[in-house]
Amino acid sequence: MSGLRGDIMNSKTAVLLSMLLAIAGCATAPPLQLTPGANNVLVAKSDPGDNYEIIGPVSGFDGEGCGGFGYKGSYERAITSLRNRTYDMGGNYAQIISLTEPHLSGDCFYNKYVIRATAYKKVRNQPSPTPIVEAGEEKLTKKLRELKKLLDDDILSKEEYEKQKTKLLEKGF
């Protein structure tokens, strides 16, 4: 009887070891490398500027499964995935919209990092120049100072100065 008991114990041990090896095999992250060229893809939360045009939505992710049945993703690998996918779309900038980290959901620890973004492609090297717009009061002050200088330099008479000043004050600038 001890021989039968030993065989059963060995069978249980073998089954248990097989299950552990299967689980351990599932828990290994698959290889993920940056695609050549994807290293030029910039990833940020900020707006890329008007020298980029939108290509479309893109997501990067890493991780799989529930708890020990899968592998826990990492932020770095999710960024690598995002850069690769953006590059595959022809983009060179990804603006992050949202990030979902691994989390507990019900009785499962969801292992996946998901980064949602908008892919952009650079269309010009420099953004459009931003015009400098002065506030209304600053414009008025500047015009009044210019007018006063004309009076001080004897280019305008006192009455011409007063007339122009009144016009400016009525117009607002």
In 3-state terms the chain splits into helix, strand, coil percentages (rounded to 5) of: 40, 25, 30
Do 15 and 53 have their domain in common?
no
Q: What is the pLDDT of residues 68-102, one digit of tens each?
A: 888 889 999 999 999 999 999 999 999 999 999 99
Instruction: Report pTM.
Output: 0.59
Q: State the SS3 of 73-99.
A: CCHHHHHHHHHHHHHHCCCCEEEEEEE
Arithmetic mean of pLDDT, 105-128: 90
**150 falls within a domain:** yes
**127 falls within a domain:** no
Whose tokens are 């016009």? That residue is 167
Do 155 and 98 have their domain in common?
no
**160 falls within a domain:** yes
Q: Are 58 and 119 in contact (CB under 8 A)?
A: yes
Q: To 10 degrees, the CA torsion angle through 98, 102, 104, 109?
A: 150
- In the chain, the number of structural domains is 3
Arithmetic mean of pLDDT, 41-51: 91
**130 falls within a domain:** no
Backbone angles phi, psi at 169, to 5 degrees: -65, -35
Confidence at residue 132, expressed as pLDDT on a 0 to 100 scale: 54
**145 falls within a domain:** yes
Do 35 and 117 have their domain in common?
yes
Confidence at residue 124, expressed as pLDDT on a 0 to 100 scale: 87
H or E, element range at 120: strand 113-122
Do 72 and 104 have their domain in common?
yes
Supply the mean pLDDT for the chain: 82
**67 falls within a domain:** yes
**128 falls within a domain:** no
Confidence at residue 36, expressed as pLDDT on a 0 to 100 scale: 92
Range from 38-42, 133-137, 146-150, 165-169 carrying the lowest mean pLDDT: 133-137
Burial label, 88 (beta-carbon count in 10 A; 0-12, 13-18, 19+): middle
Do 9 and 35 have their domain in common?
no
Q: Of the ranges 9-18, 132-141, 160-169, which is most confident?
A: 160-169
Arithmetic mean of pLDDT, 106-122: 93
Backbone angles phi, psi at 123, to 5 degrees: -110, -20
Arithmetic mean of pLDDT, 109-132: 85
Say which DSSP state 67 is in. T
Show the domain range for 105. 31-122
